[in-house]
């Protein structure tokens, strides 16, 4: 049997007492055991030390309420004893509370009933110094408060994610881009990233979690309305006590405006460079369209110009990304012509002389190409005029597969760029006009002697290189002077214009016919098989000239004589060939006019033998009415 002490508690065996005492003293907590009346049964050294007392100050049999050192040590004795009484009134319950000592330390007080043989025998109290833990908790709380205070008062997008990328916290600034339903806590933070960027960003996040080292990157958010925002982002990890990444804080900022500004600057420099380098309008405009598309991220573009004959605006040059859908849309645009009654984007810009922006053409009432644009996946559009002074010379139009909100700085910039392109067009047109005047006959529009000489120089180089023949056909009208003198110079000029038009039509595009002055015309024939081919061309020229002309309600009949010289047999240079062809003309006129004659005396008999028709055998008389 176990012996009992007079206070009702079992008396420990003599052999077990040292072991129990050693266990009591080895704990890091202060222990105080009292009976049901609150009288001290036992305690350990740590209990007294926590209150700055000596172990002998805690004597068995002393009422715990008389432990003066406790009153002296606690900051709020009344609260201390009130907590003690509260738990004493509930003898079957456990208790846990904290209190602060005057020296600033914080103790945690835990108690549980002491039950022996199914009856309450008192209470066991344990005291623990939790000052450092409390301070750590306070620092953490203050840190969290600071984090939220900063996150909720900066324009940056601040998110806290778990290692799988799920949202744990979003700063209020996310509300400027997304609705609360889009960014609920626990949702996938990669869902709002543009599909083209999503996997790359996921890989960077996974590397951050695995290495603990954050990376800075750029990507795009795709918003619900289809628009895009450019984002710069960087992650920082938070590790638990074991060093394992438990959270990732991602700080992002919207750099769309900065990105747009960089793109606008790049576009402006690119267009300026094209205008400086291009020699012709045909070279410049396609490059400008491509430059604007590629620097600003638009998917296709076109230039529209006025067709004066049809009095309609039509598509001239285009550029697009290499996708079938967008290519089909561009093909459709090339087939369109906007008449004056049309009030679409292009016509509006043409008439107003101002740029215009459409965020989403699929939602724009009256946009006639909306269905075709939707099939191509196109949404955003803008256009601006090409102007020289107050005159609109054309319209540049662009489309994007993204919904794009108006970019006011860009619209302002394209006003200037449209004027620069307009000045370039006007200057190049003036240069082309001057060049045309310098190289073409002002009456007939045919090449003049200057341009003919240039083309002959190129042709003779090619002939020498590839050992080919050239033919020079020198033609003048028979008895043109009587027509000019009788019917007047105006009538004669109109006759020359019609002669030039007929000659141009009867020759190949690769051949050249020029007016040398008066009623003299020279044709340059390249790449023919034999002199018989040249004779065929000469006969065609005579035939078209001999048909009646109707000028000023008069019918006029006229014929021509042609002298032919061949390179290299009849001359090695233009002067010699022209002189020899001129000599052959006189032979043709001596033979009765309305005929052609080769300078070489050997060729004419050969043609007679080959064709049975002697050059110059056909005759006609001059008739005029």
- Residues involved in catalysis: 519
Q: Which residues contact 117 (CB under 8 A, 6 or more apart)?
A: none
Q: Are 130 and 138 in contact (CB under 8 A)?
A: no
Nearest to 52 by CA among 30, 22, 23: 30
Residues comprising the chain, all counted:
625
Nearest to 538 by CA among 511, 575, 556, 563: 563
Distance of alpha carbon 281 from alpha carbon 386, whole angstroms: 13
Distance of alpha carbon 111 from alpha carbon 113, whole angstroms: 7
DSSP string of 477-515? ETTHHHHHHHH-HHHHHHHHHHHHHHHHHHS-TTSEEEE
Distance of alpha carbon 282 from alpha carbon 298, whole angstroms: 21
Distance of alpha carbon 621 from alpha carbon 52, whole angstroms: 145
Nearest to 80 by CA among 127, 42, 119, 139: 127
Q: Measured between alpha carbons, how far is residue 355 from residues 292, 346, 361, 426, 585 in Å?
A: 15, 10, 15, 20, 62
Distance of alpha carbon 386 from alpha carbon 304, whole angstroms: 10
Distance of alpha carbon 92 from alpha carbon 119, whole angstroms: 10
Half-sphere exposure of 24 (CA within 13 A, CB side): 17
Q: Which helix (H) or strand (E) holds 107?
A: strand 106-116
Distance of alpha carbon 6 from alpha carbon 120, whole angstroms: 16
């Amino acid at each position: 049997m176990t012996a009992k002490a007079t206070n009702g508690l079992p008396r420990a065996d003599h052999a077990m007492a040292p072991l129990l005492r050693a266990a009591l003293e080895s704990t890091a907590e202060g222990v105080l055991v009292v009976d049901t009346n609150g009288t001290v049964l036992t305690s350990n050294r740590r209990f007294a030390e926590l209150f700055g007392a000596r172990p002998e100050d805690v004597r068995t049999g002393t009422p715990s309420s008389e432990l003066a050192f406790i009153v002296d040590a606690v900051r709020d004795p009344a609260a201390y004893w009130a907590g003690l009484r509260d738990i004493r009134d509930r003898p079957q319950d456990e208790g846990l509370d904290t209190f602060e000592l005057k020296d600033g330390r914080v103790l945690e007080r835990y108690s549980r009933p002491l039950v022996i043989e199914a009856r309450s025998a008192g209470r066991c109290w344990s005291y623990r110094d939790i000052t450092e833990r409390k301070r750590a908790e306070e620092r953490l709380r203050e840190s969290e408060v600071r984090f939220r205070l900063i996150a909720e008062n900066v324009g940056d997008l601040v998110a806290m994610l778990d290692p799988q990328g799920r949202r744990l916290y979003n700063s209020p600034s996310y509300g400027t881009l997304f609705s609360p339903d889009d960014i609920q806590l626990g949702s996938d933070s990669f869902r709002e990233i543009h599909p083209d960027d999503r996997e790359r960003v996921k890989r960077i996040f996974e590397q951050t979690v695995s290495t603990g080292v954050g990376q800075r990157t750029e990507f795009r958010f795709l918003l619900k309305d289809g628009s895009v925002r450019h984002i710069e982002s960087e992650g920082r990890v938070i590790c638990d006590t074991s060093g394992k990444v438990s959270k990732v804080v991602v700080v992002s900022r919207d750099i769309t405006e900065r990105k747009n500004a960089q793109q606008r600057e790049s576009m402006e420099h690119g267009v300026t460079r094209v205008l400086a380098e291009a020699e012709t309008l045909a070279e410049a405009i396609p490059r400008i369209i491509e430059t604007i598309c590629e620097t600003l991220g638009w998917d296709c573009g076109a230039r529209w110009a006025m067709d004066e004959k049809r009095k309609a605006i039509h598509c001239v040059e285009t550029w697009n990304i290499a996708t079938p859908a967008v290519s089909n849309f561009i093909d459709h645009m090339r087939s369109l012509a906007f008449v004056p009654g049309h009030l679409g984007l292009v016509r509006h810009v043409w008439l107003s002389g101002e740029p215009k922006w459409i965020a989403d053409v699929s939602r724009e009432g009256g946009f006639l190409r909306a269905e075709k644009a939707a099939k191509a996946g196109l949404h955003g559009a803008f256009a601006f005029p090409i102007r020289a002074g107050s005159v609109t010379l054309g319209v540049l139009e662009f489309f994007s597969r993204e919904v794009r909100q108006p970019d006011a700085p860009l619209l302002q910039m394209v006003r200037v760029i449209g004027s620069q392109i307009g000045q370039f067009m006007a200057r190049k047109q003036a240069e082309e006009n001057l060049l045309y005047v310098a190289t073409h006959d002002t009456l007939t529009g045919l090449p003049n002697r200057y341009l003919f000489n240039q083309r002959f120089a190129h042709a003779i180089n090619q002939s020498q290189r590839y050992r080919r023949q050239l033919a020079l056909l020198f033609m003048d009208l028979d008895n043109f002077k009587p027509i000019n003198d009788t019917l007047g110079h105006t009538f004669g000029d109109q006759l020359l214009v019609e002669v030039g038009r007929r000659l141009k039509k009867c020759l190949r595009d690769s051949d050249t016919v020029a007016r040398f002055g008066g009623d003299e015309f020279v044709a340059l024939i390249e790449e023919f098989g034999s002199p018989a081919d040249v004779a065929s061309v000469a006969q065609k020229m005579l035939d078209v000239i001999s048909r009646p002309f109707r000028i000023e309600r008069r019918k006029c009949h006229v014929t021509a004589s042609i002298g032919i010289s061949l390179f290299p047999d009849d001359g090695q240079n233009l002067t010699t060939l022209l002189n020899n062809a001129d000599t052959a003309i006189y032979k043709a006129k001596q033979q009765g006019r309305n005929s052609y004659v080769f300078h070489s005396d050997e060729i004419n008999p050969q043609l007679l033998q080959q064709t049975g028709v002697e050059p110059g055998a056909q005759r006609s008389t001059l008739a005029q009415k």
